[in-house]
Amino acid sequence: MAPTELKELKEQLQEWLDKWFIRPSVSPWGAPLLDANVFAKIKLRSSYHWLKIRSSDIRKTDLGTRYGHYDILVMSFGLTDAPIAFMHFINSVFQSYLDSFVIVFIVDILIFSYNDKEHEQHLRIVLQILRERKL
């Protein structure tokens, strides 16, 4: 986060603490990476464009310009639910491994492991899935 965003986050957290909306937590559920030692991150570039618009919905995606009208055939970054739809898709792709050694946040895949040997296996699994799904 940018320094201004961090400042805003701190202020909002303090406001919520003051209003008793939240409280400090010591729950182990909030730290799934606690004992992990090895990490890798994969950023999925142009990822929204992998999701095709359902053919029955294409007519709703008109893109009008001074040079003509076009139908959008793939998920566009400007669509309101694009991040949610994409995250749902990627979470379903890695469902079997979520929180075991994979965490997904929008276009980032975090692979975490407890040692190098395990990490090599985890990376192979993730890369194989991405290859099979043509991602």
In the chain, where are the structural domains located?
27-132
Query: What is the rounded distance in angstroms from the CA atom of residue 41 to the CA atom of residue 63?
Result: 34
pLDDT < 50: residue spans in the chain:
none
Neighbours of 16 (CB within 10 A): 12
Structural tokens at position 106:
């929008």
For residue 112, the surrounding DSSP H or E stretch is: strand 108-113
Query: What is the rounded distance in angstroms from the CA atom of residue 60 to the CA atom of residue 53?
Result: 10
pLDDT in tens, 69-88: 888 888 876 777 778 888 88
Q: Three-state DSSP class for 20?
A: coil
**What pTM value is reported for the model?**
0.67
CATH 3.30.70.270 fits 27-132, yes or no: yes
Confidence at residue 52, expressed as pLDDT on a 0 to 100 scale: 84
